[in-house]
Amino acid sequence: MYDIIIVGAGPAGLSSGIYASRLGAKTLILEKLNPGGQITLSSEIENYPGVCEPKSGIEFMACWPEQAKRFGAEIKSEEVTKIIPNEKKYKIKTHNNEYEAKAIIVATGATPKRAGFEGEEEFIGRGVSYCAVCDGFFYKDKIVAVVGGGDTALEEALYLSKIAKKVYLIHRRDKFRAAPHTQKKVFNTPNIEIIFNETVKKVFGKEFVEGIILSSGKELRVDGVFVFVGMKVNNELVKDLVELNEWGEVKVNLNMETSRKGLYAAGDIRENSVKQVVAAAGDGAVAAINATKYIEGE
């Protein structure tokens, strides 16, 4: 029996693991892929406090699992298939094993939806990005394309317009679904060029993105493509166990506690997440400290 099982080994999960194990809790972290999370797809991290020299996402996350293990956390590469609440403990099923814990921290994150154009996966971290706050600065005085017509796409296009020389905003219909006041700001921003009724067919380049081809066949020279076509919250394991908001994000209180006792959520899966590594790491610490207190109380 573990004290705490953490599901997901991105910044929120690993931070939880570091804090929980250092507080003396018998801790297991389960991750279906490699530890590190979606930030390992980022080409450079330069806004995490203390990281004064930019690092790649992979480099940045490299020692987090070792740090958690140093305090006694176990990390296993196993995909969790079910979380079953059982009296004052939880049973966790993976494909091959079953574990038990007094408290669970779910840190399974969110996955940006792909737009589906040719070369999208291949150029991730080499000009295709899903995070303007993370990668926007690398496009200072350059030309970028933003894909999408929702609030995120328009807000991020406005953010990028302050950094990049020019922003093409490419939307598949002739109307945005973003809030009217955001649309107004976009229409009034001189360096945003709106392209309606087009999708990106293909991205091309050698090492980095050099341009895109639209569905009409038109070619645009761009240095980067930012895709904001929605997020998929990875809530499958908890969607029937805890309260979610209208976007499927897990509702939590300031202790990262969900609507179910002993079940905590941290990072991009929780409501109002700002989807930044520093915030996910903070959530992880908050969840671990409170989960440990909960166990002691029980």
Residues engaged in binding ligand NAP (CB under 6 A): 115-116, 147-153, 155, 172-173, 177, 199, 228-231, 247
Rounded least distance, CB 221 to ligand NAP, Å: 20
The Cα 264–Cα 252 span in angstroms is 8
Q: Which of 131, 223, 268, 283 is catalytic?
A: 131
Give residues with Cβ within 8 angstroms of 256, minimum separation 6. Answer: 105, 264, 265, 266, 270, 283, 286, 287, 290
Rounded least distance, CB 239 to ligand NAP, Å: 17
Name the residue number minimizing CB distance to ligand NAP. Answer: 150
Q: Is 63 a catalytic residue?
A: no
Name which of 110, 82, 25 is nearest 298 in CA terms: 25
Q: Which of 3, 52, 63, 135 is catalytic?
A: 135
In contact, 125 and 207? CB cutoff 8 Å: no
Task: Output 168 or 228, the one with its CB closest to ligand NAP.
Answer: 228
In contact, 39 and 33? CB cutoff 8 Å: no
Q: Which of 3, 134, 223, 268 is catalytic?
A: 134
In contact, 25 and 291? CB cutoff 8 Å: yes
Rounded least distance, CB 87 to ligand NAP, Å: 37
Name which of 229, 277, 231, 298 is nearest 107 in CA terms: 277
Rounded least distance, CB 138 to ligand NAP, Å: 22
Query: What element of type H or E holds 167?
Result: strand 166-170
Task: Output 130 or 294, the one with its CB closest to ligand NAP.
Answer: 130
Task: Output 152 or 290, the one with its CB closest to ligand NAP.
Answer: 152
**Regarding beta strands 110-112 and 2-7, do their DSSP bridges make them parallel or antiparallel, or are they unpaired?**
unpaired
Task: Output 103 or 200, the one with its CB closest to ligand NAP.
Answer: 200
Catalytic residues: 131, 134-135
